[in-house]
Each structure stands twice: as C-alpha cells, then as structure tokens.
Chain A
Amino acid sequence: KKQPQPHDEL
C-alpha cells in the first residue's frame, strides 16, 4: 500500500 513519503532525506 502506498503511503506518503517520509522526509528523511537531506
């Protein structure tokens, strides 16, 4: 299932 992207990149 597609979820919103986590902002864990820089």
Chain B
Amino acid sequence: MNIFRLAGDMTHLFSVLVLLLKIHTIKSCAGISLKTQELYALVFTTRYLDIFTDFISLYNTVMKLIFLGSSFSIVWYIRRHKIVRRSYDKDQDTFRHYFLVIPCLVLAVFINHKFTFKEVMWTFSLYLEAVAILPQLVLLQRTRNIDNLTGQYVFLLGAYRALYILNWIYRHFTEPHYVHWITWIAGVVQTLLYADFFYYYFQSWKNNEKLQLPA
C-alpha cells in the first residue's frame, strides 16, 4: 500500500460519507442521480464477488463491505425513504442504465484477461465504473443550483480516480510488472470524464462563485 492508493481510498470513502451526510442529515437527495448510484451498487457487487473467497487483508475486506453497504443503502434511501425520496427529481434523471450496462458487459465478455465468470464480472465492473458517473454529470448540467455537498461529492470521486492513477504509476516502478492495461485504460477514461467538471469546479472556487456547469 502506497500513499497515493491510501489517499485515493480515503477520498473515495469521504465522497461516500459526504453523500450519506447529505442524505441522512439534510434528508435530501436533490441533485443526486439514482442511476449513477444504482450503477455503483452493480459495480461493487460484480467486483467484490471474491470477498469471501480470496482474503487480501482486513483493510481490503472492511473497505469492500463499506462500499457495498453504503452503495446499497444510498439506493435504498433514494428509492424507499419516505422523506428523502420526495427530493429525488425523476424527470431530470433520465439516463438509461442499459446504454451503459450492455456495452460494458459485451466489452467484458470479449476483452478480458481470462474467460471465467469471476474475471469477466471483475472486468465488467471496471468498464462500468469508468462510465457510471455519466448520469450524474448529465444531471449536474441540468441543475441550475448545484449545492455544495453535491459539488464536493463529485469532486472527491474525481480526486479518488486521479490518485489511483498516481498509485498505478508508483506501483509500476516499485513492484513486479503485472499485466494491467485493462485497469489502466478504464481508469484513465474514467478520470478524463471528470476533466470538464474539474475545470468548472476550480473556476467557481477561484472566483468564489457558485458552481454551475454550462448546458
């Protein structure tokens, strides 16, 4: 474990905590895409199929349980909680899941390191995670007033991806050379999707203005 990986995991954890804080204390999910949250629940479910079969470390297992538990509870809150669900704007969050899920599944079946169920599911989760933020980014663009917590949430998610790239560069020079081009390409694509958001995020921060993405 290097410092970039740890920092990446912590920003990822903070992003989830910020979102749960917004949902749990303010009882609002305004500006949050249920589609993206459902895709993340699917990402973690398919990626962590090895949770009970391959033990890596206690840290690893605990973090996996946190990401699984938090992603499903966020989906539950937005769909079922009697107050939270009222703030969900269904008409704005129109992105179709299958536009992302089906191409990722097809890609994972054909492009993977090993054609086994677990490996294909793991590869699928990488492809899907890369694009799962799209419904959220589309929703942000449609939202005239992006509240602070939503902005922080997306920023932390983007920071997590950027730190993972630094982690891979570090690992590349310090560890035995593994084949990881699938992780790299999916990860770089995922990080690039945040580039536009980062630009406007820093602009609003520099000019001390409210964050707003151009339509």
Chain A residues close to B by CB (< 8 Å): 1-10
A10-B9, A10-B12 known; A5+B178 contact, CB < 8 A: yes
CB distance from A7 to the nearest CB of B (A): 6
Q: How far is the CA of A1 from the CA of B179 in the complex (A)?
A: 10
Categorize the interface residue count of chain B: 20 to 34
Q: Which of chain B's residues have a CB closer than 8 A to the CB of A9?
A: 5, 164, 167, 183
Contacts A4-B114, A5-B183 given: A10-B177 contact, CB under 8 Å? no
Contact B63 A5 (CB under 8 A): no
Measuring CB to CB, which residues of chain B are less than 8 angstroms from any residue of chain A? 5, 9, 12, 50, 54, 56, 60, 63-64, 67, 113-114, 122, 164, 167, 176-180, 183
Cα–Cα, bound, A9→B160 (Å) = 13
- Residues of B within 8 Å of A8, CB to CB, are 56, 60
Residues of A near B67 (CB, < 8 A) are 10
- What separation, in Å, do the CA atoms of A8 and B113 have in the docked complex? 16
Q: A10-B12, A10-B63, A10-B64 are in contact. Are A5 and B180 (CB under 8 A)?
A: yes
Cβ A5 vs Cβ B179 within 8 A:
yes
For B175, the closest partner residue in chain A by CB is A6
